Amino acid sequence: MLNIKYELTKEKKAKPDENNLGFGIYYTDHMFIIEHTEGIGWHDARIVPYQPLTLDPAAMVFHYAMESFEGLKAYRLPDNSIQLFRPEKNAERMINTNKRMCLPSLSVEDFVQAVKAIVETDKDWVPHNDGTSLYIRPFVIATEPHLGVRTSKHHKFIIICSPVGAYYSTGINPVKIFVEDEYTRACPGGTGFTKCGGNYAASLVSQVKAHDLGYEQTLWLDGVEHKYVEEVGSMNCFFKIDGVVYTAPCVGTVLPGVTRMSCIELIKKWGYEVSEERLPITKVMEASKEGKLEEVFGTGTAAVISPVGELRYEDEVAYINDGKIGELTQKLYDTLTGIQWGKIPDDMGWTTKVCD
């Protein structure tokens, strides 16, 4: 259990217009920080006014990308109370990321306590409008000033929060996706399953290429053969082909998404067959030609459920469901967001109350 000290701000910021939040633009009044020192462990947990960090320019995070992060959301319910969605799953995933990245981790209990504490402190920032939430960004950085490549003796774990609307400017309207067959996101034995900033930095070249071609996002193929579908980078990806729902297996190169996991549980509960076998992109394109590619959608904390209307692979384009949101995609969106925003009962036991 953390002993958190509070230094609250005397100058609260003006709240942004809830109709125009965008994603990751505004930040709340406070942030959570805890230090980690080799030989001592975690110490000095505190909630302080949101402020810039002062770091030595030789801090290892700047040179060797020694950092990891998470993403989860707090939701305001119709009775004005606030809840989280499966925060312990983010805590567990961060532990797995940090093992791979040689970074220290908080226990699941301490991670969840810290998230609840910062959300409760800034509870007035959890927005009220439909489809809005408070995005929570925990991250760990290596702060020891040192230019040799080795593990760091000092780290900070920080949580910042941002009131957000939809991740994509298209909202729940279908996105256009470009299948990347030149660059690679992840290889077996690499960091593909982790939430480390380097994965995202390395993906930007493809995102720029996709944008230049008129597509919103990149669908990554496996790094060895460039044959099997993996993930979109900001989302996991699902394909409904002839009644069966496919998503890439989490075998080291795909991020084990909390929304992905929740969707699989719901889809199975509703009686569909879910396949986590590797799915060749050629099978997806063939299914499209045969009229069997029924739905494609992405899942993620930021993106929620995002229908895909168009997939481009080499010179072929698959148009999905006439650019309309599919039946299963809509049902998943309604059920998941219904549970998250407390509009339908949480019979899966997924939510955690922060405050009334």
The window from 202-210, 300-308, 333-341, 346-354 that contacts ligand COI (CB under 6 A) reads 300-308
Q: Closest distance between ligand COI and the C-beta of residue 258, in Å?
A: 9
Q: How far is the CB of 188 from ligand COI (least distance, A)?
A: 22
C-beta of 74: minimal distance to ligand COI in Å? 13
Q: Is 301 near ligand COI (CB under 6 A)?
A: yes
Among 104, 127, 300, 326, binds ligand COI (CB under 6 A): 300
- Residue (163 or 313) nearer to ligand COI, CB: 163
| 68 forms part of the interface with ligand COI (CB under 6 A) | no
Bridge pairing between strands 175-180 and 304-313: parallel
For the CB of residue 97, give the shortest distance to ligand COI in the complex, in Å: 12
Looking at residues 314 to 343 of the shown chain, list those that interact with ligand COI (rule: CB under 6 A).
none
Q: Note whether 192 binds ligand COI by CB under 6 A.
A: no
Minimum distance of ligand COI from residue 198's CB (angstroms): 12
Regarding 71 and contact with ligand COI (CB under 6 A), the answer is: yes
> Looking at beta carbons, which residue is closest to ligand COI?
71
Beta carbons within 8 Å of 10's beta carbon, 6+ residues apart: none
191 contributes a contact to ligand COI by CB under 6 A: no
Interface of this chain with ligand COI, residues 111 to 170, rule: CB under 6 A = none
Q: How many residues bind ligand COI (CB under 6 A)?
A: 6
Query: Would you state the structure tokens that stand for residue 30, as one six-digit string?
Result: 């406070």
Rounded-to-integer distance, Cα 337 and Cα 305, Å: 9
Is the C-alpha dihedral spanning 43, 93, 125, 141 positive or negative?
A: positive
Nearest CB to ligand COI, comparing residues 241 and 264: 264
Q: What is the C-alpha to C-alpha distance for residues 219 and 15, in angstroms, rounded to an integer?
A: 36
Q: Is 302 an interacting residue with respect to ligand COI (CB under 6 A)?
A: yes
Site string for ligand COI, 219-258 (x = CB under 6 A): ---------------x------------------------
Shortest CB 233 distance to ligand COI, Å: 8
In the numeric block, which tokens belong to residue 293?
Answer: 């590619």
- Binding window for ligand COI (CB under 6 A); candidates: 34-42, 60-68, 177-185, 295-303: 295-303
Residue with smaller CB distance to ligand COI, 37 or 96: 96
CB-wise, 69 or 272, nearer to ligand COI?
Answer: 69
- Candidates 8-16, 115-123, 244-252, 296-304; binding stretch for ligand COI (CB under 6 A): 296-304
- Applying the rule CB under 6 A, the residues between 1 and 60 that interact with ligand COI are none
**Which segment (96-104, 116-124, 299-307, 311-319) binds ligand COI by CB under 6 A?**
299-307
| Residue 210 to residues 75, 200, 247, 320, Cα–Cα distance (Å) | 32, 15, 22, 18
Cβ-Cβ contacts under 8 Å for 174 (sequence gap 6 or more): 307, 308, 309, 310, 320, 321, 323, 324, 325
Residue 45 and residue 87: Cα distance in Å, rounded? 19
Per CB under 6 A, residues contacting ligand COI are 71, 200, 234, 300-302
